[in-house]
A = this chain, B = another copy of it.
Amino acid sequence: MVQSEAVLVSHDTSKCIVCDVRSRSLFPNCDELELEKLAVHVEDLNFRTDVPLYTEGDAVNGVLKLRRGMVKIVRTAVCGRTRIVRVLGPGDVIGLEAIDLASYGSTAIALTEVSVCRISLKVIQQLAKSSSGVRMPILHQMQRALREADDWLVDLNFGSARQRVCNLVLKMRRFTNPDFTVLLSRNDMGSMLDLKHETVSREISHLVHEGAIERLNKTGRLYRILDLRLLKCYKDPRQSTS
């Protein structure tokens, strides 16, 4: 019940040196000495499932580097309904859209157990100085986020319910093993695709019956991909003449 219990902080600065997630993507050019200096401004944080990492309106004091787990970024429209605008995984940087702003405009919620590093703005500035122009890692991360946002719009919010669900199934493939897909709750999927959870469920069932995917566990989260062509080339039922 006490939410602060969900956050465990550790200050083991030596971790930055061995953590290849961070060094590879954000500190590619730093040697060990530089990393040690930066690590003072880096905190390790852990969150349990369904706990917010930050909430709309919270003060911004850095970015979060996601090391383990998945996070959803949620925004509420004027009408009060909420919408998932992004889902982030290991290696992604959380909170880029609020960098150089005072407060967050969205809420980040842990979809699983999550481990992140909070990287203070001081470190970001340090990074900017030590790197050259467009090679700047933080710039690269933002460019990636921007392209991801466009993908999200084009692939997941366009066309029929069937097309959207197909594209989501494709997007959620484990890239370590592309034969498998891990989905979210039907409600979350609906919030990503602007569909109701019943519609999502129906479309998934349809894909199973067609033989495109196969359910692997009872909770309906893990599936094996059987027919990639079916998922990719799905006709829009709204415009197919067959």
Q: Is the beta-carbon distance between A143 and B96 smaller than 8 angstroms?
A: yes
Determine if A146 and B147 form an interchain contact, defined as CB atoms under 8 angstroms apart: no
Kindly report how many copies of this chain are found in the complex they form together.
Answer: 2
Choice from B134, B146, B158 contacting A77 with Cβ under 8 Å: B158
- Segment touching B, from A124-132, A181-189, A207-215: A124-132
Which one of A11-19, A99-107, A222-230 is at the interface?
A: A99-107
Collect the chain B residues with CB atoms within 8 Å of residue A78's CB: 155, 232
Kindly list chain B residues whose C-beta atoms are within 8 Å of the C-beta of A86: 150
Chain A's interface: helix, strand, loop or mixed, by majority?
helix
Interface residues on A, range: 35 or more
| Contact in complex: A158, B83 (CB < 8 Å) | yes
Q: Is the CB of A149 closer than 8 A to any CB of chain B? A: yes
Contact assessment for A133 and B128 in the assembled complex, using a CB-CB cutoff below 8 Å? yes
Residue of B nearest to A131 (CB): B128
Instruction: Report, nearest first, the 6 A-B pairs whose CB atoms are least far apart.
Output: A125-B133, A149-B149, A128-B133, A97-B146, A142-B142, A100-B134
Known: A78-B232, A157-B157. 9 other contacts (CB 8 A): A75-B150, A79-B236, A81-B159, A83-B154, A100-B134, A105-B150, A128-B133, A139-B139, A146-B146
